[in-house]
């Protein structure tokens, strides 16, 4: 990936990485339900921000420190 894409990766990429990780390891299992599990169904900006905010919060809880990222 280019630096540009790594600095602001596409939503679908982030969602797919989470989905694959969750499937393989159980990470975040049960946190998301319904249409939030299908990256194609998340089309509204508000839903994308909600998903990313929840994912960031989960990661912060797991690693025990605050991340300097914006959804």
CA-based angle 12:14:67, to the nearest 5?
A: 145
pLDDT tens for each residue of 10-36: 999 999 999 999 999 999 988 888 888
The answer, as to whether pTM is greater than 0.75, is yes
pLDDT at 71 over 80: yes
- The domain locations on the chain are 38-64
User: Is the distance from CB of 55 to CB of 32 less than 8 angstroms?
Assistant: no
């Amino acid at each position: 990936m280019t630096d540009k894409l790594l600095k602001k990766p596409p939503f679908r990429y982030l969602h797919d990485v989470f989905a694959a990780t969750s499937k393989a390891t159980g990470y975040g299992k049960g946190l998301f339900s319904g249409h939030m599990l299908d990256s194609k169904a998340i089309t509204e900006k508000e839903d994308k921000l909600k998903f990313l905010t929840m994912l960031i919060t989960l990661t912060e809880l797991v690693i025990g420190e605050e991340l300097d990222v914006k959804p």
